[in-house]
Structure 1
Amino acid sequence: MSGSSGAASSAAPSFRVWALGGIPEVRAGDDLAKLIAAAEPGLVDGDVLLVTSKIVSKAEGRIVEAADREAAIDAETVRVVARRGPLRIVENRQGLVMAAAGVDASNTPAGTVLLLPEDPDASARAVRDGLRDALGVDVGVVVTDTFGRPWRNGLTDVAIGAAGVRVLDDLRGGTDAHGNPLSATVVATADELAAAGDLVKGKAEGLPVAVVRGLSHVVASDDEPGARQLVRSAADDMFRLGTSEAVREAVTLRRTVREFSDEPVDPGAVRRAVAAAVTAPAPHHTTPWRFVLLESAESRTRLLDAMREAWIEDLRRDGKSEESIAKRVRRGDVLRNAPYLVVPCLVMDGSHTYGDERRDTAEREMFVVAAGAGVQNFLVALAGERLGSAWVSSTMFCRPVVREVLSLPSSWDPLGAVAVGHAVGVARERAVREAEAFLTVR
């Protein structure tokens, strides 16, 4: 494969890139440089070798026993950047921000996972030095891995390690073809090389090494900084926190959903939402929230059947006709149609008793407000997990029934029930509410 820029002519810049065949299955302890040299790559000075990180990891014995891939991801994670359901974008111990910390369960024996090289730049240096010793050539080496990108669909290879390659081409201070100054142009040359190699290596062809020829100007001395130079520092990362943007997005996503698909709900996502819920403010340093998770169909059915019977009795006492009662019960089936239910409860542990009705009422109201803040946090966090929800007040009207069926302490006051699941269809656009309509300024 070749590439060019400018008008087609003999003087136009060009390069060649091809995949190198003949690399055997790599095992722990193998010398990659010797394996590559044995494949008779025909390397010359100025070539760039692109090596898939997977074979580097195998040679370095980075295969570990791990029946639970999530635990392996936890071990390699320094910071969780974003999470949606089981997918995590994290910063790993190499400083790379990527999906699942680079922990790979493909092309490795069952019950094991493959971790990224401990120091990809050092791995690249070892291959470069080994090829110099074996073949007498001065080549650049780039260790590549597959990344997704924010705001872009699809995957591409990028450089995670490099040796003897100018990984960045800083054009700042120069001018473009029209004489305009270049003030922010720094080209990620090593990433461009990695992507070019991926075009010929492919993802499933068993060709883990590629060679680029014709770009000798990117090959540099041994003391050239490695691919670590490509990792943006925390101080320069405009999206490192993104807290306000993330909260606003989750709040916007939060809608009342009344129709759910059969897709199961990840219990871990609900627990993460509870973790967000209990960060709400509360009086007297208390924790006035409890969340009862109804994960089994049996527990949901038992509760909803008992609540329905209590509701029907209430409606009959109110003199409603059987037809009217049937219609109301059908409208209340949003909880029955959900694959997961949560019953948030208020507890008054730590509250003060004043012996004065006005102050005691205000005390309870403080706790109710705090519990409501917790439930709002919970709903917003569910939306951030791409889960739909509907907060229904029904359990508040039959608290004794709920406590009995769920074996809850008498001091727990159910605050409705939250139906949780994956929404069917696309929610309608939310009506615009101008903040000014809800403000009073003094």
Structure 2
Amino acid sequence: MAGPGTGTVTGGDGGGGPSYRVWALGGMPEVRAGDDLAELIAATRPGLADGDVLLVTSKIVSKAEGRIVEATDREAAIDAETVRVVARRGTLRIVENRQGLVMAAAGVDASNTPAGTVLLLPEDPDASARAIRDGLRDALGVRVGVVVTDTFGRPWRTGLTDVAIGAAGVRVLDDLRGGTDAYGNPLSATVVATADELASAGDLVKGKATGLPVAVVRGLAHVVAEDGAAADGARALVRGAADDMFRLGTSEAVREAVTQRRTVREFTDEPVDPGAVRRAVAAAVTAPAPHHTTPWRFVLLESAKARTRLLDAMRDAWIADLRRDGGTEESIARRVRRGEVLRRAPCLVVPCLVMDGSHTYGDERRDTAEREMFVVAAGAGIQNFLVALAGERLGSAWVSSTMFCREVVREALDLPESWDPLGAVAVGRPAAAPRDRPARDVEDFVTVR
């Protein structure tokens, strides 16, 4: 294998098996806004053949498309290209940019560009790849695939590698699911990112500072789509949000779970994973508490029988209270229907306060404050629980009703006298996306002294 930019990389098993060649194209001039990249590449007399794959560094695509801006404020350029902040550490930001790519600084690059300027990624890298491919077909009469590449860092791996951000005429993914391996084992999750592997191969000869922005791969014609055949662009390589288990950094994930928590009143019939609820309880019991105590208990009503027994008893107690208040049967029925959110949930949790370890002072003021400390600690645990459920993509609704009939709840659930129910939490998969929360100005809730 030759060094970066010096010529050719040959891949194969050395024993007559499959092989390929990768080489960098020399003779590319400095690219300027408005240049036709296909014409510039054709002018180097690249000797392209049908089935070759051309690997083009995104920087020259950006230059040709005029994606160069004055860098008076690089952070502002990053802001303009950012759709969502994934993680932040100091001044470094990992973000999702407008092309859907998750990368450092939204792909805004100050290297290989004149001082005082930065390069933005192509607005539509797949369209850029199509234009180069079509231009080379017109100029040279060859059927090639084109991959536009950029340099990425990767989670859990040190070092950078090139990946595909745009593609045309290339089968970017090789889906092996449904097949078998050499031992006959079924392949159920194997989807190969072929375009990324091509991009990395090209980077071995292009290098980062050698002035060789274009490489060619030969010998892998099977990855080049026939004219008229379906071939996805590189956008197909971007993992969708629903399948992305690592969508956010740690602190950002916590903030999103807090801000995305909503009161959900309609649930699907999908069962709730008991493990997810227990993980949320594990988060709940990390809340602060007075005197090194553990004032939280969570009663998990995982069976329909237990939920029905509790809710029927609570409904009867509530109706009796409403009748004592002078409510009409119609108004009572209406209020009971509104309160049925707990019955519609596939899982129900009753958080309880225990005062074990509390102090008794014999002074009303201090004894009241002591109980308030424990109630606040229990509330912190419940909030942790709700936020952790949101992190598990579970909806929840905290309802205060058990606090109004504690004796009924203790009897229905066979709880100790010392356990004080603090409402109930309905848990399940939301039946619909929650409505947007009204905007709240933080300054309305802050007093500075």
Aligned to 1:377: none
1:237 aligns with 2:255: no
Can you list the C-alpha shifts for 1:145-182, whole angstroms capped at 9, x where unaligned?
00000000000000000000000000111111111111
- Using the size of structure 1 for normalisation, the TM-score is 0.56
Aligned to 2:198: 193
Contact 1:48 1:141 in 2 (8 A): yes
CA distance in 1, matches of 2:248, 2:57: 31
Aligned to 1:113: 118
Aligned to 1:15: 20
CA distance in 2, matches of 1:82, 1:240: 9
1:58 aligns with 2:63: yes
- Using the size of structure 2 for normalisation, the TM-score is 0.55
Task: Give the unaligned 5+ runs of structure 1.
Answer: 249-356, 374-410, 414-442
Can you list the C-alpha shifts for 1:327-381, whole angstroms capped at 9, x where unaligned?
xxxxxxxxxxxxxxxxxxxxxxxxxxxxxx949x96xx99xx99xx9xxxxxxxx
Aligned to 2:384: none
Q: CA deviation at 1:246?
A: 6.1
Letter in 2 for 1:9: G
Q: CA deviation at 1:4?
A: 4.1
Identity of aligned residues (%): 86
Corresponding residue to 1:156 among 161, 165, 189: 161
State how 1:28-427 maps to structure 2 within 5 Å: 28-220=33-225, 221=227, 223-241=230-248, 358=365
CA 1:173/1:56 → structure 2, altered by over 3 Å: closer, same or farther? Answer: same
Q: CA deviation at 1:242?
A: 5.7
CA distance in 2, matches of 1:107, 1:242: 30
CA distance in 2, matches of 1:176, 1:155: 30
CA 1:241/1:99 → structure 2, altered by over 3 Å: closer, same or farther? Answer: closer
Contact 1:2 1:14 in 2 (8 A): no
Letter in 1 for 2:240: S
CA distance in 1, matches of 2:249, 2:217: 38
Letter in 1 for 2:232: P
CA 1:79/1:244 → structure 2, altered by over 3 Å: closer, same or farther? Answer: closer
Structure 1 stretch 154-163 or stretch 218-227: which is displaced more? 218-227
Contact 2:87 2:248 in 1 (8 A): no
SS at match of 1:25: coil
CA distance in 2, matches of 1:241, 1:18: 37
Q: CA deviation at 1:244?
A: 8.0
CA 1:245/1:177 → structure 2, altered by over 3 Å: closer, same or farther? Answer: farther
Can you list the C-alpha shifts for 1:6-29, whole angstroms capped at 9, x where unaligned?
5x323x000000000000000000
Q: CA deviation at 1:113?
A: 1.1
Q: CA deviation at 1:3?
A: 4.2
How many residues align? The count is 264
Q: CA deviation at 1:109?
A: 2.3
**RMSD (CA atoms):** 3.0
CA distance in 2, matches of 1:156, 1:55: 18
Can you list the C-alpha shifts for 1:276-322, whole angstroms capped at 9, x where unaligned?
xxxxxxxxxxxxxxxxxxxxxxxxxxxxxxxxxxxxxxxxxxxxxxx
Q: CA deviation at 1:111?
A: 2.4
Task: Give the unaligned 5+ runs of structure 2.
Answer: 1-7, 256-363, 381-446
Letter in 2 for 1:224: A
CA distance in 2, matches of 1:54, 1:241: 27
CA distance in 1, matches of 2:448, 2:24: 66
Can you list the C-alpha shifts for 1:60-89, whole angstroms capped at 9, x where unaligned?
000112301011000000000001011110
Q: CA deviation at 1:240?
A: 1.4
CA distance in 2, matches of 1:4, 1:240: 35
CA 1:246/1:233 → structure 2, altered by over 3 Å: closer, same or farther? Answer: closer
SS at match of 2:34: coil
